[in-house]
Amino acid sequence: MQLLSIAATLSFLASAAANAAKPNIILLLSDDQDARMNSLDYMPILQKYLAQEGTTFENHYTTTAICCPSRVSILKGQFAHNTNFTDVGPPTGGYDVFLEKKLNEEYLPVWLQRAGYATHYIGKFINGYGVPNHKVLPGGWNSFDALVNPWIYQFYNAVFSRNGAEPKKYPGIHQVDVIRSKAIAILKQAAKSEKPFFLYLSPSAPHTTVSFDPNDKENLKKIQCSETIPAERHKHLFPDAKIPRTPSFNPASVKGKPKYIEDLPLLNDTVIETLDHWYRQRLRNLQSVDELLGAVIQQLTKSGQLDNTYIFYSTDNGYHLGLHRLNAGKTSPYEDDVHIPFLVRGPGVGRGVKRVDVSSHTDLAPTFLKLAGAHQTAFPFDGAPIRVHEHETLSQNDAAATKETLAVEFWRPLVPEYFPIQGGEENTYRSLRINGRGYSYLYTVWCNGHRELYNHTTDPYQLVNVYDKTSSSVVSRFDALLVALHDCIGETCQKPWNAIDVRIRSLGQALEGRYDTSFAKHQRLVIQQCLQYYDLQNEVIVESDGKGGEIVVDRPVREIPRVGGTAAPAQQPLLVLQDGQGNEGVAFENLESTIDDIEEFGISLTKEEVEIASDPNAYDYD
């Protein structure tokens, strides 16, 4: 009996030692943050503690430019065409669909729990988590404190449900400040535990405010998008900031774009003035996110955990204001909507390093598992671990070493947030984004038959569609890649050239004449209809018939995977400038002001609020 007790004790101590050696991981994910309009330049805490003391990945992308599918790709390590989770609401998206598809049974927090981690979630999860279903938890989280629909995008009326308990609202406290206080409470709790932790923080900032008229109960789905709302202490900042007037901002010509963009008139002065105001509000709201990051770093420093913690910063998708005459929103294949911020600091991570490695959100789950010394065998990852460590070397066969291409995919209408755009329902597309040595391209196939090709090296703002001016031989390479990626699974997603010719490792190599025979049939992808959902049979492959025409290629029908399973050193004071432009005299408040007893400020919803939120017509948004 004594021997058994000793053995059990030794086993416990060994497990505790193994857990103690594992790093903590934090992901801070903003909502709809741009990389192309310089928003990161206005976040001084991020600049100091992540950009200067960590690594910035300059070629990181979302593979679906809308929140819920992108967030599921983070949690699953898969493209949306493999999760078939492609929207923000039913029948192909939303929280209930996330559970119905059993996407929560084998996903990131479950895998990390199996590896000995405590897992915590705070903020926006999947749209559709609301009053009627708040007790139905996704599983995998030791603590789950999620924003509740329909108040996810109302910044001074945030509503949370903690571990499925009665939803509470926090009137008068900015949403990001609520998340900040909840995060610090979790970090204080984690400091007392032997377990490593994974903390996922997901504020809605700088997303637009989305509101509805509670008195118009017949039209609760009739919503109004307006400027995002910053904290009161930030509302005076950046009075002169304007959207960068790049060549793609309200350009004189949009020739070569899809029809719904070609038909757009120039934005007038009134619209531009409004968009500039929205831009300033976005920068102001990001100050609270910056302070959230600062408070997290400060608490980790106090508890002595900073040196053993990886902190990742990103967003779900990009955002545009005035891009190619579009007003405000995301959901396009263009760089503003798919190229997103991605930074990391932590043990072994280079300081002040900028990397050009191509990566996407499908790579995050594999990366986190690698850092945690964990793995999963439920299904193959579409992504591969990102090279986060400064001196990490890769073999020539590693996916991260050869990756230069990723797919961007979308199956729903355009989402303009300022005013409607006619024809935006023809927004289903498949794209390639290629970044290689000495070349960079965007190639897009639209559901209406339109095709776009941009040489990003000579045309970084994607103004001149060169598809019709590019030789068939060159286009055949892009088409072959898109064919390989459009229904890829696992390693084919990581190394699409292997599905074409195992000798080829890059576009530059593929363009060599000796490989012309591999592309002689010129297979290409055709999207037959502008469906608002993903149907593999709607996307056919055609090839040359050798007589000047094309024939449809018979391909084996495959089931979209339905994944199931068994759930199971001292830092300087954080008193830095706030205006993002180096101007003195704009210091932010002491981060010690975090509300320790934030839960005491939560109050119950009124009976009327519960009734409205329980109405099947209660709005949801992306």
pLDDT the model gives residue 545: 85
Rounded mean pLDDT, 328-344 = 98
pLDDT the model gives residue 617: 64
Instruction: Note if 67 is an active site residue.
Output: yes
* CA–CA distance, 125 with 142 (Å, rounded to integer): 15
Least confident of 198-207, 304-313, 393-402, 427-436: 393-402
pLDDT the model gives residue 238: 98
pLDDT in tens, 27-65: 999 999 999 999 999 999 999 999 999 999 999 999 999
pLDDT the model gives residue 158: 95
Phi, psi of 49 (to 5 degrees): -100, -15
Q: How confident is the model at residue 618 (pLDDT cuts 50, 70, 90)?
A: low
Q: Which carries the bigger pLDDT value, residue 334 or residue 616?
A: 334
Distance in Å from the first CA to the final CA of the chain: 59
pLDDT the model gives residue 391: 85
Least confident of 27-31, 457-461, 594-598: 594-598
Residue 85 three-state SS: coil
Q: Is the confidence at residue 556, as pLDDT, over 90?
A: no
Q: What is the pTM of this model?
A: 0.92
Tell me which of 67, 225, 447, 493 is the catalytic residue. 67
Let me know if 552 is exposed, middle or buried by CB neighbors in 10 A (0-12, 13-18, 19+).
Answer: exposed
Q: Is the confidence at residue 567, as pLDDT, over 50?
A: no
Least confident of 139-153, 407-421, 572-586: 572-586
pLDDT the model gives residue 583: 33
* CA–CA distance, 20 with 8 (Å, rounded to integer): 18
CB 413, CB 88: distance < 8 Å:
no
Contacts within 8 Å (CB) and 24+ apart, 495-502: 495/399, 495/402, 495/403, 496/405
Rounded mean pLDDT, 371-398 = 89
pLDDT the model gives residue 304: 97
Strands 118-123 and 223-226, by their bridges, are: unpaired
Strands 603-604 and 168-169, by their bridges, are: antiparallel
Cα 532 to Cα 271, 348, 408, 447, 522: the distances in Å are: 29, 44, 16, 10, 28
pLDDT in tens, 126-162: 999 999 999 999 999 999 999 999 999 999 999 999 9
Neighbours of 158 (CB within 10 A): 26
Q: Across 370-424, where does the E strand assignment appear?
A: 405-410, 415-416
pLDDT in tens, 109-120: 999 999 999 999
Residues of the chain above pLDDT 70, percent: 86
> Which residues make Cβ contacts (< 8 Å) with residue 411, sequence separation at least 6?
86, 87, 92, 428, 531, 532, 533, 534
pLDDT the model gives residue 14: 47
CB 92, CB 120: distance < 8 Å:
no
